[in-house]
Amino acid sequence: MEFNALPINENVTNNVKRVESAVNTAVRGYEKLASLVGGGRKGPYDDKNFEFVGGARDSLRMKHYDKSLRLLWKAEHHLPQGNFRDMTKDEKVFMSQAKQTLNKKERIQIDRFSSDEYKELINREYTQEQKQAIINILAIIGHGEAYAWMVSAEVLTDCKSTGGRAALTMQVLEEAKHFVVLRELMLAWDCDIPRFTVWEYIVLERTLKSKGMEKFFGMNVVVENVAMGIFGMLGELPGLEILKMFHLDESRHTALPYNYFDEMPMTWWEKNSPFAQFRRLTMVLPAVPMMASLEKDMAIIGVDSLEFGGAMLRKIAHMKDRVGFNTFIPSSVLKEFVNDGFNLYASYSRPGHTTRRFVEADTVMGEDMQAIEKELFDLYSTGKKVTELASRKILDWRKAA
Ligand SMILES: [Fe+2]
Ligand SMILES: [Fe+2]
């Protein structure tokens, strides 16, 4: 390449370089000293190596950032009745070409959901009582998504490595999308949207107030498992198919602590600090009374909230053990404790109740979502089947509707 290079004064530019080097040594040296007393450089960025502190960690980037971009879904496509305009021109062309290949029945299905008849569809499919029950259940996670957005944004500033930051950036983006899309979806149902229960408030606030990567426990282990449970339970229902996309995203978020700590392991103290262990316990236990609060709404759509809670707790226990978030009480004992709590509640509230294994249940519907969870939790390694009870109840309810 031919450039018309300009003449410069070599002496002056060399002096400029020397001055910069001296000021750099002074500033960096001062920052290093200040860091010993809690001050110093704020950005955990390693400009000498062109990396964030923690290194490249490309495999973390590939498992989360790259995969999230491959699986990125657009609200305009999945919630066409909403006011989102997030598809590119090329995506719109591709979708209209793909539509040509559908048969008449499939096209009617797409057209139906693309029109302003969404409200008519849900009013036809559900009674007002059923609609309100579904919105009450979705509100739990609607508010949870707002906290997931805030928490992941803070974890993004606390996490290490270029790969870790790329992974968290995608989670922030996806939680933002979850909140605004779920909000739009829920508002279309013309129901009251309740505040969250005090049990959920405690878990979410304590998660946001947790320090550093400990936030992964409250958010990616506890709350994400609740979210997967709710999306997995509702994603097969008419007008709620978009929740399958949420379920897919949340499964990636749930895997993030495992992949992150696999690259940059927690210290012994981080795993076993008595304060952290106690704090984790106080974030799992509010799930017990929360299931009692949900009983009425879940019963309306044919789901036993204690089965839902049992499945959720089993998955949380599995994940926390895999990641190394210890909680004083071993998972096997914790599961029995919660199972006993659910049976005690049921023996008071359900005439003729006989003791059951609520922690063996599962309320996830649909083959796709079950397959995702199977991969994630290896739940069925013992050949155990998803409980048929909840599925049967949903089918009975659909037939009756
Ligand atoms: Fe989310
Ligand atoms: Fe999430």
**What does the CA dihedral 303, 138, 235, 399 come to, rounded to 10 degrees?**
50
Cα-to-centroid distance, 267 and ligand 1 (Å): 28
Residue 304's closest CA among 261, 363, 246?
A: 363
Cα-to-centroid distance, 3 and ligand 2 (Å): 51
Per-position pLDDT tens, the chain of length 401: 889 988 999 999 999 999 999 999 999 999 999 999 988 888 888 888 878 899 999 999 998 899 888 888 888 888 887 888 888 888 888 777 776 776 666 665 555 455 567 888 899 999 999 999 999 999 999 999 999 999 999 999 999 999 999 999 999 999 999 999 999 888 888 899 999 889 889 999 999 999 989 999 999 999 999 999 999 899 989 999 889 899 989 989 998 999 999 999 999 999 999 999 999 998 888 878 888 889 999 999 999 999 999 988 988 988 888 888 999 888 888 889 889 989 999 999 889 899 989 888 777 777 777 777 666 665 334 333 334 444 444 445 444 44
pLDDT of residue 83: 81
pLDDT of residue 153: 96
Which ligand is nearest the CA of 142, by number?
1
- Its pTM stands at 0.82
Q: Hunting for tokens 């370089």 — which residue is that?
A: 17
Cα-to-centroid distance, 40 and ligand 2 (Å): 33
Cα-to-centroid distance, 87 and ligand 1 (Å): 20
Which ligand is nearest the CA of 254, by number?
2
- Residues 296 and 307 sit within 8 Å (Cβ to Cβ): no
For residue 381, what are the CA distances in angstroms to 120, 247, 342, 373, 384?
Answer: 43, 21, 25, 12, 7
pLDDT of residue 197: 87
When computed from its CA atoms, the radius of gyration of the chain, rounded to whole angstroms, is 25
Which ligand is nearest the CA of 178, by number?
1
Cα-to-centroid distance, 353 and ligand 2 (Å): 36
Give the CB-side neighbour count of residue 103, counting CA atoms within 13 A.
Answer: 1
In whole angstroms, what is the distance from residue 310 CA to residue 335 CA? 8
Cα-to-centroid distance, 178 and ligand 1 (Å): 5
Cα-to-centroid distance, 187 and ligand 1 (Å): 18
Cα-to-centroid distance, 111 and ligand 1 (Å): 27
Cα-to-centroid distance, 227 and ligand 2 (Å): 8
Cα-to-centroid distance, 116 and ligand 2 (Å): 29
pLDDT of residue 137: 94
Which ligand is nearest the CA of 64, by number?
2
Which ligand is nearest the CA of 256, by number?
2
Cα-to-centroid distance, 176 and ligand 2 (Å): 10
Cα-to-centroid distance, 318 and ligand 2 (Å): 18
Cα-to-centroid distance, 12 and ligand 2 (Å): 55
**Residues within 5 Å of ion ligand 1 by Cβ?**
145, 148, 175, 178
**What does the CA dihedral 104, 106, 107, 112 come to, rounded to 10 degrees?**
120
Cα-to-centroid distance, 331 and ligand 2 (Å): 23
Residue 219's closest CA among 275, 172, 267?
A: 172
pLDDT of residue 45: 87
Cα-to-centroid distance, 365 and ligand 1 (Å): 19
Cα-to-centroid distance, 246 and ligand 1 (Å): 7
Sorted by where each starts, the structural domains of the chain and their CATH numbers stand as: 103-400 (1.10.620)
pLDDT of residue 108: 55
Cα-to-centroid distance, 219 and ligand 2 (Å): 8
Bridge partners of 46, per DSSP, are 51
Cα-to-centroid distance, 48 and ligand 1 (Å): 36
pLDDT of residue 106: 60
In whole angstroms, what is the distance from residue 210 CA to residue 220 CA? 13
pLDDT of residue 383: 35
Residue by residue, DSSP assigns 302-340 as T--HHHHHHHHHHHHHHHHHHHT---SS-HHHHHHHHHH
Q: What's the per-residue H, E or C state across 41-104?
A: CCCCEECCCCEECCCCCHHHHHHHHHHHHHCCCCHHHHCCCCCCCCCCHHHHHHHHHHHHCCCH
Cα-to-centroid distance, 361 and ligand 1 (Å): 23
Cα-to-centroid distance, 286 and ligand 2 (Å): 20
Which ligand is nearest the CA of 231, by number?
1
In whole angstroms, what is the distance from residue 370 CA to residue 235 CA? 11
Which pairs count as long-range contacts for 319-324, CB under 8 Å and 24+ apart, including other chains?
319/221, 319/225, 319/254, 319/257, 319/258, 319/377, 320/217, 320/221, 320/280, 322/258, 323/216, 323/217, 323/221, 323/257, 323/258, 323/261, 324/261, 324/265, 324/266, 324/271
pLDDT of residue 394: 45
pLDDT of residue 111: 55
Residue 57's closest CA among 166, 158, 152, 155?
A: 166
In whole angstroms, what is the distance from residue 246 CA to residue 372 CA? 12
Q: Who's near 105: CB < 8 A, 6+ residues apart?
A: none
- Residues 237 and 135 sit within 8 Å (Cβ to Cβ): no
Cα-to-centroid distance, 22 and ligand 2 (Å): 47
Kindly report the CA angle at 254 between 252 and 257, in degrees rounded to 5?
Answer: 105
Cα-to-centroid distance, 216 and ligand 2 (Å): 11
Kindly report the CA angle at 83 between 170 and 94, in degrees rounded to 5?
Answer: 70
Classify residue 13 by burial, with Cβ atoms within 10 Å: 0-12, 13-18, 19+: exposed
pLDDT of residue 115: 56
In whole angstroms, what is the distance from residue 250 CA to residue 232 CA? 10
Residue 206's closest CA among 194, 192, 222, 228?
A: 222
